[in-house]
Amino acid sequence: MKRFWGKAMTDIIIIGAGPAGLTAAIYARRAAKGVLVLEAMSYGGQIINTPHIENYPVAAHISGFDFATKVYEQAKALGAEFKFEKALEIIDNGGSKTVVTAKGEYEARAVIIATGSRSRKLSVEGEDKLIGRGISYCATCDGAFFRNKTVAVAGGGNTALEDALYLADIAEKVYLIHRREEFRGEQSTVQKLKERANVEFVLNSRVTKLNADKRLQSIEVTDNQGNVRTLEVSGLFVAVGRIPENQSFSSVIELDEAGYAASAENCRTKTEGVFVAGDNRAKEVRQLVTATADGAVAATEAVKYINS
């Protein structure tokens, strides 16, 4: 990376090292552009929480962690630079952009925002205090703590379904609590869950109370008719969707009502030289394959922008 007015200068800064950001890094490096990837946590994004990926072409079966590691190593081998710093702001200087982190400032011709999303909370009283004491947002990270115990999963999307399936192999019993009759996630996974003797669906219901001593002891679930049922569980895995991580960049991108970044299919935003890719982008289908596709598109467009 060159120095520019005392700041480190590169061609493209990619914010976020999930599947979208890592794929963008591969494409940008193959176009011989300088690439700095800024990542607040560790590489991989939310896919590292997925135990089994079975819907990515060619990889009939791979864990999310293995997938992320392979893409990270591919991007590194191609020469992408990584810094594990949280990007706090993007300043548009016209022909260049400054990305401010807690540790410094970096300058680039173009920026790709591939920040993904964070877990939505249930917003039930006591939830925050019980994180790590029975409440978890990651079944693959914490599931092993609940071996032969009774747990619940809240949510009806693919994450909740896959979490329930994963936990069914570990826990004695799994309640799957969803606020509607129909699941949002894939029917093939619903079918697998129906075949598990230790999985019980609790439909048309929401978690309304957490009962705890030092740790979670039980939860109260209220159905759509107002009937309350107490479930004795030692773990509650919350999988009720994601919140896009765009707020810090709202001065350079337009956000929709839910906080997703508006862009055309070419991943361009309202600011020339700023692109978005992955789950934080407003779009219909949020899957691993569409995240990596976004990364390819955003990087290709960023290269075109720089070369124009």
Question: Active-site residue numbers?
Answer: 138, 141-142
Nearer to ligand NAP, 50 or 150 (CB): 50
According to CB under 6 A, which one of 241, 248, 271, 296 is a site residue for ligand NAP?
A: 241
CB of 35 closer than 8 Å to CB of 79: yes
- Under rule CB under 6 A, residue 240 binds ligand NAP: yes
* CA atoms of 59 and 118, how far apart (whole Å): 26
According to CB under 6 A, which one of 196, 242, 248, 254 is a site residue for ligand NAP?
A: 242
Closest CA to 307 of 299, 197, 120, 260: 299
* CA atoms of 306 and 110, how far apart (whole Å): 7
Start-to-end CA distance of the chain, whole Å, equals 21
Nearer to ligand NAP, 240 or 276 (CB): 240
Q: How far is the CB of 225 from ligand NAP (least distance, A)?
A: 17
According to DSSP, the residues that pair with 106 across neighbouring strands are 8, 99
* Residues between 75 and 94 with contacts to ligand NAP, criterion CB under 6 A: none
* CA atoms of 288 and 64, how far apart (whole Å): 10
Q: Judging by beta carbons within 10 Å of its beta carbon (0-12, 13-18, 19+), is residue 106 exposed, middle or buried?
A: buried
- Under rule CB under 6 A, residue 283 binds ligand NAP: no
Closest CA to 27 of 307, 308, 293: 293
Q: How far is the CB of 44 from ligand NAP (least distance, A)?
A: 14
Q: Show the binding pattern over residues 120-159: x = contacts ligand NAP (CB under 6 A), - = does not.
A: x-x-------------------------------xxxxxx
According to CB under 6 A, which one of 25, 37, 38, 239 is a site residue for ligand NAP?
A: 239
Q: Which residues have a Cβ under 8 Å from the Cβ of 284 and sit 6 or more positions away? A: none
* Residues between 156 and 195 with contacts to ligand NAP, criterion CB under 6 A: 156-160, 162, 179-180, 184
Closest CA to 28 of 39, 15, 12: 12
222: amino acid identity, one letter? T
* Residues between 25 and 54 with contacts to ligand NAP, criterion CB under 6 A: 50, 53
- Under rule CB under 6 A, residue 259 binds ligand NAP: no
Where on the chain is the footprint of ligand NAP (CB under 6 A)?
50, 53, 55, 120, 122, 154-160, 162, 179-180, 184, 206, 239-242, 286-288
